[in-house]
């Protein structure tokens, strides 16, 4: 009897095991997103347990407040939203500083030059200023996780708010500094991060990996076009500087007798000459958090550091004078020297932002100075406005600012153009790009790679103690981010950076047109 009962018990166990095995086999395999959620939830529970109550149901991410919201009642001032929550604005353009990391703390995106230097991605061709993006009712360009955080009330536990003296409800607004832990589904998804233009980190973010993103909101405005026009007016002296002339359309483009030919936001200066240039320091008018427009953002940059802008300007002027001379004096400019719409101009140029940052130039000596290029490939730009007559901007050889202003310039003379984005690269601007060339050489680079990695590690443990939890590896079942720095060959990498131009960004051209003799 006992023997029979034992058989029944064993048989029952076998049947149960078989049924359990059958259930396991029949169960649907976990998707990548499900596996990632399990891993991210487990990582937060272990390393950031205080954030468990800060889970955002819409998007499935976690929020950490880096600077508590004081809920200041600052009224909107002119074109600035003040401290009004971003989610309450139907039309909103927002300035943000962002740094993106993988779950181990390795940077994959940064807008800050100091971090870029640390990562080895710093470039003198990169304009390290905040992002400028549309953040309205519909997401048309922001990273999904960023958009969700900006356009929703953030869920924060009562315990968390009491501990850090944070007032509820919490909405992102000017002055907000948060860190969000995003699953890849609302970050870079299956493609991962391929940031370019000098904003890269020391590693790219692999496909289907979480993103830890620090966001600082510096400001928000309603009408960036109006703000941009105001920046140009400030630059040209509000009409009090007779050297700056408002550009006009040719009569052939007049629609009817009531059509205003004036081109608001586009000016040219025929009186400019580097020999008597009095602009010894460019005014910082780019998008940033200094409402008085007096802050120089290049405190850390070796070339653009505070106090060096005038030296850069003087050096560029000396290069221009040495290469092209003083140019044709304005008193000698006439209809005979004017390029006109049918003429062809051979143009040398320096393109700047309004703060003096050099975006581009086809003058080799200036490229060497500003971009550290040893052997720049430069040539004169040949342009005739007549070639672009009647064409859409997308079909023209040059931007609208050149199309309208070059005919007013003179052969053998200098000139300047200042323009809003409407006559340049439009509201989309230009994306910064990085072209990489690699050359392998014999030898072992372990030592140098290790030194760079440990310098990075020590820097963030000493300077950013808040980040130290990142260095607990994210090993929960599915991810392992251990990096092997050992290589058998040293790879020398040469990077060529094209400068990013943000939306609604005014530009300043300094030109010299070759003589037509």
**Mean pLDDT in consecutive groups of 10 residues from the start of the chain, 517 residues:** 45 46 61 85 94 96 80 43 77 89 91 86 87 87 92 95 90 91 91 87 87 90 89 87 93 85 94 77 44 41 55 87 95 95 96 88 93 89 93 88 97 96 92 79 45 36 34 34 46 79 93 92
**Token reading at 382:** 């040949």
Environment class of residue 79 by beta-carbon count within 10 Å: exposed (0-12), middle (13-18) or buried (19+)?
middle
Residue 438's pLDDT is 67
The CATH classification number of 32-222+446-483 equals: 3.10.50.40
Closest alpha carbon to 344 in 132, 513, 150, 147: 513
> Would you say the C-alpha torsion 307, 309, 311, 312 has a positive or negative sign?
positive
Token duo for residue 270 = 């025929």
Task: Note the pLDDT of residue 378.
Answer: 95
User: Torsion-angle region of residue 188: left (phi > 0), alpha (psi -120 to 50) or beta?
Assistant: alpha
Q: How much is the pLDDT for 279?
A: 54
What residues does 490 pair with on adjacent strands? Answer: 441
Q: How far, in whole angstroms, is CA 364 from its chain's centroid?
A: 26
Q: What pLDDT was estimated at residue 245?
A: 96
Note the pTM of the prediction, 2 decimals. 0.79
Residue owning tokens 């260095």: 471
CB 405 within 8 A of CB 247: yes
Supply the Cα-derived Rg of the chain in whole angstroms.
Answer: 29
From the number of C-beta atoms within 10 Å of its C-beta (0-12, 13-18, 19+), residue 214 rates as: buried
Same fold, 32-222+446-483 and 224-429+502-513: yes
The torsion of the CA quartet 131, 133, 137, 143, rounded to 10 degrees, works out to: -60
**What is the C-alpha separation between 228 and 225, in angstroms, rounded?**
5
User: What is the per-residue pLDDT for 98?
Assistant: 92
Strands 131-134 and 211-221: unpaired
Which run of H or E residues covers position 272?
none
Query: Taking the chain, what is the end-to-end CA distance rounded to the nearest angstrom?
Result: 120
- The CATH class of 224-429+502-513 is alpha beta
So what's the pLDDT on residue 440?
Answer: 62
What does the domain layout of the chain look like in residue ranges?
A: 32-222+446-483, 224-429+502-513
Quote the pLDDT of residue 74: 39
């Amino acid at each position: 009897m006992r023997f029979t009962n034992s058989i029944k018990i064993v048989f029952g166990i076998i049947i149960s095991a078989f049924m359990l095995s059958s259930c396991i086999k029949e169960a649907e395999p976990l998707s990548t997103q499900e596996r990632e959620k399990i891993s991210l939830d487990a990582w937060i529970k272990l390393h950031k347990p205080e954030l468990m109550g800060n889970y955002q149901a819409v998007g499935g991410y976690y929020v950490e407040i880096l600077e508590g919201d004081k809920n200041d009642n600052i009224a909107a001032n002119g074109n600035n939203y003040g401290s009004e929550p971003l989610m309450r604005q139907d039309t909103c353009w927002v300035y943000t500083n962002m740094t993106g990391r993988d779950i181990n703390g390795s940077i994959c995106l940064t807008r800050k030059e100091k971090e870029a230097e640390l990562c080895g991605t710093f470039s003198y061709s990169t304009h390290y200023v905040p992002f400028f993006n549309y953040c309205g009712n519909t997401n048309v360009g922001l990273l999904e996780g960023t958009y969700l955080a900006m356009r929703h009330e953030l869920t924060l536990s009562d315990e968390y708010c009491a501990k850090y003296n944070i007032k509820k409800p919490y909405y992102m607004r000017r002055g907000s500094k948060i860190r969000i832990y995003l699953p890849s589904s609302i970050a870079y998804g299956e493609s991962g991060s391929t940031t370019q233009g000098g904003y890269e980190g020391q590693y790219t973010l692999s496909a289907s990996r979480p993103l830890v993103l620090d966001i600082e909101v510096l400001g928000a405005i309603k009408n960036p076009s109006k703000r941009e026009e105001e920046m140009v007016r400030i630059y040209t002296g509000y009409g009090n500087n007779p050297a700056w002339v408002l550009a006009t359309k040719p009569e052939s483009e007049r629609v009817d007798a009531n059509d205003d030919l004036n081109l608001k936001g586009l000016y040219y200066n025929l009186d400019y000459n580097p020999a008597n240039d009095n602009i010894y320091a460019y005014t910082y008018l780019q998008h940033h958090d200094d409402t008085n427009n007096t802050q120089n953002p290049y405190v850390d940059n070796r070339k653009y550091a505070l106090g060096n802008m005038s030296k850069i300007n003087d050096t560029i002027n000396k290069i221009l004078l040495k290469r092209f001379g003083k140019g044709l004096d304005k008193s000698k400019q006439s209809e005979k020297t004017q390029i006109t719409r049918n003429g062809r101009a051979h143009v040398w140029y320096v393109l700047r932002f309004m703060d003096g940052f050099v975006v581009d130039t086809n003058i080799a000596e200036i490229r060497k100075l500003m971009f550290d290029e040893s052997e720049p490939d430069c040539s004169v730009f040949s342009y005739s406005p007549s070639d672009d007559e009647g064409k859409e901007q997308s079909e023209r050889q040059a931007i609208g600012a050149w199309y309208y202003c070059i005919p007013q310039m003179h052969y053998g003379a200098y000139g300047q153009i200042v323009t809003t984005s409407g006559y340049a690269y439009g509201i989309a601007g230009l994306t910064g790009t990085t072209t990489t060339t690699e050359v392998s050489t014999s030898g072992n680079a372990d030592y140098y790679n290790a030194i760079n990695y440990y310098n990075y590690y020590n820097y963030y443990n000493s300077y950013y103690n808040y980040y130290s939890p990142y260095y607990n590896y994210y090993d929960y079942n599915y991810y392992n981010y251990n990096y092997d720095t050992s290589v058998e060959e040293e790879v020398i990498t040469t990077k060529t950076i094209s400068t990013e131009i943000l939306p609604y960004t005014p530009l300043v051209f300094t030109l010299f047109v070759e003589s037509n003799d």
